[in-house]
Chains A and B, each alone.
Chain A
Amino acid sequence: MSRGTPLLETRNVTKLFGSVIALNGVSFSVHAGEVHCLLGDNGAGKSTLIKILSGVHEPTEGEYYFEGSPVRFTSPREALSHGIATVYQDLALIPLMSIWRNFFLGSEPKRGWGPFQRYDIDFAKRTVREELGKMGIDIRDPDQPVGTMSGGERQSVAIARAVYFGAKVLILDEPTAALGVKQAGTVLRYIARAKARGLGVIFITHNPHHAYAVGDRFTILKRGRSLGTYTKAELSREEMIRLMSGADELEAISHELEELARRDVQEDAIVAHVEEQLAESLESEAEALKRHPE
């Protein structure tokens, strides 16, 4: 995949949280018009990597390039202004605030001029209704606090927001986790459409079918390290599933269980032996008492 300079690229990025090594020398890139899936176990460092890309964290070591030139984002606001929009795993929604305020939070539409510049509320409400309608979510009241929506609806709000503001790069951290089959399908279609529009998409998921359906390249993380990046041609669906579900790990787990079972058997034998000895000593004591009743 050598299609000129990538939109986003990290080289040998390392991230430490105190003494915890969350990422260790990870190189990663996404091109325009490409869906790059980021896969790996819980705690592998996927969210940490995309938080570096979206400006939440600064890398402890390593370089970050945007369209070929080195950048250092000190806040998500800077990443957003470069056209990088993110759906965070925790969604980053404010529960007590209305849907439309959440949707435009940080990038409010304005009207008027100078000190009288104000929030274009009508535009915000109209747009939210439209954008969520496109996702198959029919909101009756844009003033509803986000905290009273269902989990899937909230996730849809976060996705619709990122799709609306992502001009160049769209980052999705497990966007389909809480979604029904229909809505998950809509999200996959969104990803395909964003790719067709020439955006770079980074897609984190634990669902191998979702990943293989839309992904062009796949990077697998494990304990903060990259196990490599594969194109769709290099990796069959079965291989990817094996890598994702960690067949090796499953084997290790079954070994471990066997070991435990064996140990249980041994322990049982020890317990039986102790009980036998106890019974014997009691018996001999009883006999001694019988012989000398006084």
Chain B
Amino acid sequence: MTVTATSPPKTDERLANVGLVQILLRRPEIGALLGASVVWIFFAFIAPTNWLSINGVARILDPSSTLGIMAVAVALLMIGGEFDLSAGVMTGTTGLITGLLAVKLGMNIWPAMFISLLFALLVGYLNGLMVIKTGLPSFIVTLATFFILRGANVGVTRLVTNQVRVAGIDEAPGFYTARMIFNTEFTFLGAEFRTTILWWIAITVLATWVLQRTPWGSWIFAAGGDPNAARNVGVPANRVKIALFMTTASAAWLVGMMNDLRLRSAVASQGIGQEFVYIIAAVIGGCLLTGGYGSAIGASIGALIFGMARVGIVFAGWDTDWFFSFLGIMLLAAVLVNDYTRKQAEALAVARAKARTESEEAEP
């Protein structure tokens, strides 16, 4: 009876407060948005002339775009509860396959691209199948794939070209139409932007739509949250996971093609080490390492933070050697912020549930 006697304004205040925190709990990208703002303001003070120009914006978005495409795909996979350490090296492998087919066999660029896409889909499928059939952590399975591809990239390229790069891809028929679609520059507001930015935005929108507005979105969250429970209520969790591995591989193919078309050549070391950068971007964007939680927009903002750091360090005239240290600090800060907001939100949600049961018990 004493419970009902508490002053009502106090309870109202707490409920309103919880409402805000609940929104934070449901929006995994809040931490990333905060981080992006801090980094942006930071460089706006350090190097205002370059940073605040439209050219500066174009420069920032350029590296962010290809990274963002990968981060979004990796985020989907992480929400689905898996990792892909072969995602970085796959951008190199697909680039080399297309390059070798075009240069050494004189193929038109389009069928060459199509063949490397099939290859990427096959590797993605095998990654998924191995993870599901063996029950091993995807971290191990895709680490094996990473090493296999890394070795093959150098081995095959040297065998065929006696070098570790394939040059002259732009002589292939169809090169310039492909370039126009995938990676060319266009002028907007007087600055030169790249079409990869449009791809990045489109892919982020598509991934967000799938996650939020289609049954597949629910299935992805469920497959990562609790695959057993998901299967028990009829979610084809295995199919979902395989599809996600194939999606990551396809994204790597897309970025591989974008690199080929921009640089007109492919190098055997392309993409190595990038797999962790994708994962970091996804984590900064609010993905949980344990799966079942995250966002595509968050991953894109994570990629944007990377782009800003990369370009900002140059604008500020600093030694670019420090780039990775900066990334490490960003990662740590993001994870701490995400963890803090989530715990805070959960505690308040539990408090609300308790308050409600208490008041319900007091009612009759």
Contacts and interface: CB of A to CB of B under 8 A. Distances in A.
Nearest to B351: A148
Interface residues of A, number: 36
B221 interface: yes
Sorted nearest first, the 8 A-B pairs with minimum C-beta distance are A106-B234, A108-B215, A92-B229, A94-B225, A148-B349, A77-B234, A106-B233, A92-B232
B226 A119 contact: no
A57 B25 CA distance: 36
A161 B25 CA distance: 25
Interface of A: 54, 56, 75-77, 80, 86, 88, 90-97, 101, 104-108, 110, 117-119, 121, 141, 143-145, 147-150, 161
B26 interface: yes
Given A95-B225, A118-B213, A119-B213, A105 B292 contact: no
Given A94-B222, A97-B225, A150-B357, A107 B234 contact: yes
A145 B349 contact: yes
A56 B229 CA distance: 10
- Report whether over half of chain B's contact residues are helix, strand or loop; otherwise say mixed: helix
Contact of A101 (B209, B218, B234, B357): B218
A94 B226 contact: yes
Nearest to A91: B229
A144 B357 CA distance: 15
B205 to A, nearest CB: 14
A105 B357 contact: no
B229 A90 contact: yes
A110 B217 CA distance: 13
B346 A75 contact: no
A119 B214 contact: yes
Interface string B221-239: 1100110111111111000
Contacts, number: 94
Given A96-B221, A149-B353, A110 B215 contact: yes
Contacts of B292: 94, 96-97
Could you say which of B217, B228, B235, B292 has the most chain A C-beta atoms within 10 Å of its C-beta? B235
A117 B225 CA distance: 24
7 contacts: A88-B232, A94-B226, A105-B222, A106-B233, A145-B349, A148-B352, A150-B353
Nearest to B346: A148
B238 to A, nearest CB: 9
A90 B229 CA distance: 8
B213 A121 contact: yes
Contacts of A96: 221, 225, 292-293
Nearest to B226: A94
Nearest to A81: B234
Query: Which of A56, A75, A117 gathers the greatest number of chain B CB atoms within 10 Å?
Result: A75
A75 B236 contact: yes
Given A95-B226, A148-B346, 15 more contacts: A75-B236, A80-B234, A94-B222, A94-B292, A96-B221, A97-B218, A97-B225, A105-B230, A106-B219, A106-B230, A106-B234, A107-B234, A118-B213, A145-B25, A145-B349
A143 B234 contact: no
Contacts of A104: 218
Nearest to A51: B232
Nearest to A110: B215
Contact of B235 (A90, A106, A110): A106
B346 A105 contact: no
B362 interface: no
A105 B218 contact: yes
B229 A93 contact: yes
Nearest to B352: A148
A106 B353 CA distance: 27
A77 B239 CA distance: 13
Given A119-B214, A119-B217, A94 B349 contact: no
A92 B346 contact: no
B338 to A, nearest CB: 13
Contact of A76 (B222, B232, B349): B232
